[in-house]
Amino acid sequence: MSGNIQLLNDTLAAARAEGRAALIAYLPAGFPTVAGGIEAIKAVLDGGADVMEVGLPHSDPVLDGPVIQTADDIALRGGVRIADVMRTVREAHEATGKPVLVMTYWNPVDRYGVERFTAELAAAGGAGCILPDLPVQESALWREHAEKHGLATVFVVAPSSKDKRLAEITEVGSGFVYAASLMGVTGTRASVGAQAEDLVERTRAATDLPVCVGLGVSDAAQAAEVAGFADGVIVGSAFVKRMLDAPDHPAGVEAVRALAGELAAGVRGQA
């Protein structure tokens, strides 16, 4: 069973052909429940997101800010397991036909088994993995199995990454490059900043892979700003916050569907 890296590549290429950035959304699996999370993710994709990142909840996140940590805690207390993450990927992809990746720290994958994880993700229709804490120099085993199963390996670069390091990271990545717009953790911010544009320029000098920017984008105006210089706009905390702030689950689902629509208009310059 082969994964959907080609679907991811085609989706990002289609957005570029339309003269716009892709909208990449994030929600953790199992939040607020497994079934409820799947419903919310489908709503985000139906609302206008091009690509979905499904978070594998982790008890010790290094990149995630307080909003996503809160959602992860809810999911973990609810007993979410890797099998639930795979179910989420499968049902989201089958319902929408859009590419779905998993964003995960390395420890759960390592403990689960790389071959088992990649095989199951491919069987679920997954397009790949974003691995924010896996050092490139230690990634050969993962990349071997990901390539075998048709999965993208997306690495994260940051404003602190030197040009030599950007070249090393992008040489072995696939799908796209996740450019963290600033130093720090995920969360909505008043502005995304000039650091992100500089990082995109330096990353593009090292690779032909699409460069997608995350950390800090929360509304259509910011999405439009980032879409002006990046190949993709990644939004996570803003979706989670809409779910957390909603009075009930149906309202949360409609809130994230609406936000996806607003952000989709933003990346198209229609906000």
Among all residues, which ones are annotated catalytic? 53, 64
Q: Give the C-alpha separation, 265 to 214, whole Å.
A: 17
Tokens describing residue 269: 């310059």
DSSP, collapsed to helix, strand or coil, labels residue 132 as: coil
Would you mind telling me the total number of residues written for the chain in this entry?
271
Q: Give the C-alpha separation, 152 to 173, whole Å.
A: 8
**Residue 51: strand pairing partners:** 24
Cβ atoms of residues 127 and 5 within 8 Å: yes
Tokens describing residue 3: 């994964």
* 79: amino acid identity, one letter: G
Q: Give the C-alpha separation, 24 to 35, whole Å.
A: 21
Q: Give the C-alpha separation, 60 to 179, whole Å.
A: 21
Contacts of residue 1, defined as CB under 8 A and 6 or more positions apart, other chains included, come to: 119, 122, 123, 149
Q: Where are the alpha helices (DSSP H) in 136-218?
A: 140-148, 163-172, 194-204
Q: Give the C-alpha separation, 154 to 139, whole Å.
A: 11
Contacts of residue 128, defined as CB under 8 A and 6 or more positions apart, other chains included, come to: 3, 4, 5, 8, 101, 102, 121, 146, 151, 152, 153, 154, 174, 175
